[in-house]
């Protein structure tokens, strides 16, 4: 249920897969850097600039940051879609999918994607692709969120579609203390013998 579409700039958003904390912190750092750029220059950042910052940041840590990112938005040169992997690899495509359910999602996208699609058709395609990833993979979450970025503005729809599979508890699972009795208790003391001790003085000069 965590948000997987992160705000970067008024014209840029980023989808994150992988370790949720890593994607959250990485996109926060990117957003703060681009905010400073916008304050100094008085204009929105370009997509390639944001992608290069992400690429440098992730390459520096050699894959230790588990962030698989898709960067999308509109700038003065048009609309762009970039993918940046945890090792700093970067690619640009008309449609992209990343994460554990990306193979199922890409199957839908490759079959039905067409250039210059109508808005509602594109939303339906994205919804079906994400739904395929959810249904084919246990690690892909539940609800479907969509973010539409145009020159007129951003339409962030959360949730666009709620999951049809929800956990409905049949009763309350609250047990009183003592419900499960202790049948046997055996305490074994550990005999610890100090073999060697070293003292290291801290240099405070």
| 142 within domain boundaries | yes
Model confidence at 142: pLDDT above 70: yes
Which candidate, 103, 116, 98, 133, places its Cα nearest to that of 5?
Answer: 98
3-class secondary structure for the chain? CCCCEEEEECCEEEEEEECHHHHHHHHHHHHHHHHHHHHHHCCCCCHHHHHHHHHHHHHHCCCCCCEEEEEEEEECCEEEEEEECCCCCEEECCCCCCCCCHHHHHHHHHHHCCCCCCHHHHHHHHHHHHHHHHHHCCCCCCCEEEEEEECCEEEEEEEEECCCCCCCCCCCCCCCCCCCCCCCCCCCCCCCCCCCCCCCCCCCC
117: domain range?
Answer: 5-161
pLDDT of residue 178: 77
| 117 within domain boundaries | yes
| 120 within domain boundaries | yes
Q: What percentage of the chain carries pLDDT values higher than 90?
A: 69
| 184 within domain boundaries | no
Encode pLDDT of 29-65 as tens digits: 999 999 999 999 999 999 999 999 999 999 999 999 9
CATH number at residue 95: 3.60.20.10
pLDDT of residue 195: 83
Q: What is the tally of structural domains in the chain?
A: 1
| 35 within domain boundaries | yes
Mean pLDDT of 114-134: 94
| 167 within domain boundaries | no
Calculate the average pLDDT of the chain: 90
Q: With bands split at pLDDT 50, 70 and 90, how would you rate the model's confidence at 205?
A: low
Encode pLDDT of 64-90 as tens digits: 999 999 999 999 999 999 999 999 999
175 compared with 6, residue with greater pLDDT: 6
| 111 within domain boundaries | yes
| 145 within domain boundaries | yes
pLDDT of residue 174: 80
């Amino acid at each position: 249920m965590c948000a997987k579409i992160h705000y970067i700039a008024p014209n840029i958003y980023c989808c994150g897969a992988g370790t949720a904390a890593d994607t959250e912190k990485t996109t926060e750092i990117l957003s703060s850097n681009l905010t400073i750029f916008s304050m100094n220059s008085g204009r929105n950042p370009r997509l390639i600039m944001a992608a290069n910052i992400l690429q440098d940041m992730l390459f520096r840590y050699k894959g230790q940051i588990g962030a698989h990112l898709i960067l999308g938005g509109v700038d003065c040169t048009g609309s762009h879609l970039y993918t940046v992997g945890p090792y700093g690899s970067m690619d640009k495509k008309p449609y992209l999918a990343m994460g554990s359910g990306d193979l199922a999602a890409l199957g839908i996208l490759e079959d039905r994607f067409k250039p210059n699609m109508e808005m509602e058709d594109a939303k339906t395609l994205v919804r079906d692709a994400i739904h395929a990833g959810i249904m084919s993979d246990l690690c892909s979450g539940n609800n479907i969120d969509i973010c539409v970025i145009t020159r007129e503005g951003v339409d962030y729809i959360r949730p666009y579609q709620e999951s049809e599979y929800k956990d409905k508890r049949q009763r309350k699972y609250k047990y009183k203390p003592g419900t499960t009795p202790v049948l046997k208790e055996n305490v074994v003391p550990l005999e610890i013998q100090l073999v060697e001790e070293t003292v290291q003085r801290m240099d405070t000069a």
